[in-house]
Structure 1
Amino acid sequence: MDAEVCCRLAAALSVRRDRSWPPEAMLSMALRTTQTAGRVADALGLTMTPDERLRERQFGALEGLGDEHYPNVWALDAMGDEHSAFQVESLQSVAARMKAVIDAFEREHRGETLLIVSHGDPLQILLTALANKPLTQHREQTALLPASITQVGG
């Protein structure tokens, strides 16, 4: 992650910060999310809390291959939220594990703000689920940019 992008993200978050913010940032354990969350956590004085459920979507046989394979998966996603072609993690599975993180946090920290640092595809799927839209429409969400801020709820 570019240091300048992380500094801009931390600055933007500090402007939005209020007393309801928790002292932690929930994050995927992947290197790039850990780096992003680390810079933001340092700037805002947050504790980083890794959570395996915030990992990237599992792409099965396509794992580790180029990004050019994503559109093939997304085309199948548009046809059904249960498919696991190429042993890809289904939309339903991704949505369930991402929502489980939010549900657990809300039980433990009622009324507080949650900062999640994760990956584009799972976050797009989560946002679609939270909007009560069919998961097959997750690619119709506005694309999330690296190190962007998306406010959900209040």
Structure 2
Amino acid sequence: MTTRLIVWRHGNTDWNAGNRVQGQTDVPLNDLGRQQAVDAAELLVRMRPDALVSSDLRRAADTAAALAALTGLSVTHDERLRERSFGLWQGLTMAEVAETRPEEHARWAAGADVIGGEVETLEDLGKRVADALQAAADGVGPDGTVIVATHGAAARSGVGHLLGWPREQLRTLRALQNCHWVELTHDTARGWQIATYNVGPFSDRPVPPPV
């Protein structure tokens, strides 16, 4: 018996488009993001999910709502699925971060756990998101499918923590594109495994940074 977990990044926002650090700022989807959510939902509905769970931030919650409209399922919101808190970076473009906080930016680019600037550590991020992903999977049980709408950095760290990967291995994964997803499966013999990564309807689009 196999549990299926789909970890789905939200659609595009104006801050994604402007390369601006969102973190836990509650930025809404833009027109492109809303259309991405609809297009992705038309694919994900074929997976016949048993449950939908989402970050409580609007860009993820509204992405999940597009799928809820097709499935008839209600969405459960879990604040543990929020994006990484980027502290004093939030609202800045990445170019502004590099210019005004160069040491912190260098640590971030190198994949360091502790960055400074009140940015949440990767360890804390991975643990809280993985806890939420595990709870979502537990909620549907063996042979169930749950789709979880979350954020770029949150998805990558949460999946990595769930799999028990070291940070060095996690850095080999590209950032999820907007409205793309990771499919994981779990059974008692093999535990968690990745089935697919970065799947979605807009594979030809550039990858916005997972912030």
TM over 0.5, yes or no?
yes
Contact 2:52–2:74 (CA under 8 A) maintained in structure 1: yes
1:103-138 Cα deviation digits (max 9, x unpaired): 323444321222110000010111222332212443
Report 1:64-143 matches (<5 A).
Answer: 64-68=91-95, 69=97, 72=105, 74-76=108-110, 78-79=111-112, 81=113, 83-111=114-142, 112-143=144-175
More helix by share: 1
**Per the alignment, in what secondary structure is the counterpart of residue 53 of structure 2?**
strand
Contact 1:26–1:49 (CA under 8 A) maintained in structure 2: yes
User: Whose relative contact order is higher, 1 or 2, with alpha carbons under 8 Å and at least 6 apart?
Assistant: 2
**Farther off after superposition, 95-104 or 52-61:** 95-104
Report 1:37-76 matches (<5 A).
Answer: 37-68=64-95, 69=97, 72=105, 74-76=108-110
Unpaired runs of at least 5, structure 1:
none
Contact 1:27–1:33 (CA under 8 A) maintained in structure 2: yes
Question: 1:14 maps to which residue?
Answer: 45
User: Hey, which bits of structure 1, 4+ residues long, moved more than 6 A?
Assistant: none
Tell me how many residue pairs correspond in the alignment: 147
Structure 1 vs Structure 2: percent identity of aligned residues?
A: 27
RMSD (Å), alpha carbons: 2.2
**Counterpart AA for 1:99:** A
Contact 1:53–1:97 (CA under 8 A) maintained in structure 2: yes
More strand by share: 2
TM-score, scaled to structure 2: 0.62
TM-score, scaled to structure 1: 0.82
Give the one of 55, 61, 68 matched to 1:34.
Answer: 61
